[in-house]
Amino acid sequence: MISKAVDYCKADQLLICAYKAIQDKLKDPNYWSHVELEKLKKRAKEHYIEEQKTHCCYCNMHQNSKNHRIWDLEHIAPRAKYAHFMFEPKNLAAACPDCNTHKGDKEVLVNTRRRTYPTKSEDFKIVHPHYDKYTDHIKHRRFVYVPVTKKGKYTIYLCDLLRFTVDFIGASGSASDNSFEDEMDAAFNAEDNQDLADLALELIELQLKK
Ligand SMILES: [Zn+2]
């Protein structure tokens, strides 16, 4: 869980003020790609990579590098839909590019007509890196993700966290096939890890068979 949101420096604040002065309906999500924002984005990304101790905010995987090329500065409420939250410090976090790509512009807010940034965990459909403790919502052991709450389940779905399990066992079919369970069983037996096998079983029951 992120305890400290990014603090913008004076130069960044000037840019943000100019953006905030634009009427909400005229705010352009593509402004994020403007060259004048490069330093702001670099500073914010650095902050969150450090703050999250090089763990992705959605899959919780640790990456052994702070290299900006393997991290995305992620808008939790997607900027394509919520351009007015573009610079909101609590709407930003560091994510791995795979989670970011899978999440895309999918909806995460309970109330999609919010004009001010939501301040509570229950305002979001996903595990919010600033408001939620990851382990309260998702049990994560190596390549297995088991939802503990509805939010956890939605996050697993939205960011396709099942991809780690599928990759690990090298499943040939889709996770909803009957053979998937057999392949997973075989993989865990080979690993001789009962704990993970139990977690995986929960995963299958809770997630795949619904
Ligand atoms: Zn990730």
Cα(26) to centroid(ligand 1), Å = 32
pLDDT by residue for the chain (210 residues), tens only, comes to: 999 999 999 999 999 999 999 999 999 999 999 999 999 999 999 999 999 999 999 999 999 999 998 999 999 999 999 999 999 999 999 999 999 999 999 999 999 999 999 999 999 999 999 999 999 999 888 888 888 899 998 999 899 998 888 787 765 555 555 565 666 566 556 555 566 666 666 665 655 544
- Identify the pLDDT of residue 203: 61
Cα(4) to centroid(ligand 1), Å = 20
Q: How far is CA 147 from CA 102, 121, 192, in A?
A: 18, 16, 23
Closest CA to 71 of 94, 46, 43, 41: 94
Contact 96, 61 (CB under 8 A): yes
Contacts of 84 (CB under 8 A, 6+ apart): 24, 27, 115
- Identify the pLDDT of residue 210: 46
- Identify the pLDDT of residue 204: 59
Show the tokens assigned to 139.
């049990």
What is the DSSP secondary structure assignment for residue 84, as one 8-state letter?
G
- Identify the pLDDT of residue 132: 98
Cα(22) to centroid(ligand 1), Å = 33
Cα(97) to centroid(ligand 1), Å = 7
Cα distance between residue 104 and residue 126, in whole Å: 13
Task: Look up the pTM and report it.
Answer: 0.84
- Identify the pLDDT of residue 9: 96
Cα(141) to centroid(ligand 1), Å = 14
Cα distance between residue 115 and residue 100, in whole Å: 24
**DSSP codes, 177-201:** SHHHHHHHHHHHHHHT-HHHHHHHH
Cα(21) to centroid(ligand 1), Å = 34
Contact 191, 182 (CB under 8 A): no
